[in-house]
Amino acid sequence: QVQLVESGGGSVQAGGSLRLSCAASGYTYSSDCMGWFRQVQGKEREGVATIDSDGGTSYRDSVKGRFTISQDNAKNTLYLQMNSLKPEDTAMYYCAAGRGPKYGLAPGICAYDYWGQGTQVTVSS
């Protein structure tokens, strides 16, 4: 139904910035929430930031003040601006889209149905 394609990853030095993009396409326009996740080899995937259909956002504590999630509805594109990058931010980053409160889920809860292939972010010290 929906295809998600991430871009913008790369290698940067600590303190640098990157902006990730997630382009959505397909015949479904009813995604109620979207988010960014990351995963390090050998570790569990963790949520980074989320945004709902009303523009409400949420961030994990370790990226607050450094990362900003946003969306351009006209372009069906999700963004993650990452500033002041740290080596611990190194991971494969994935975008996802799914169902939220409009589908009966509790506020702040998103059931992610669609996932991108990921884009690698590497931060060196």
Is the CB of residue 32 less than 8 Å from the CB of residue 98? Answer: yes
**Contacts for 19 with CB less than 8 Å, ≥ 6 apart:** 8, 79, 80, 81, 82
Is the CB of residue 10 less than 8 Å from the CB of residue 123? Answer: no
Tens digit of pLDDT at every position of the chain (125 positions) = 789 999 999 999 999 999 999 999 875 556 688 999 999 999 999 999 999 888 889 999 999 999 999 998 888 899 999 999 999 999 999 999 988 888 888 887 889 999 999 999 999 99
Q: Which of 85, 83, 111 is nearest to 98 (CA)?
A: 111
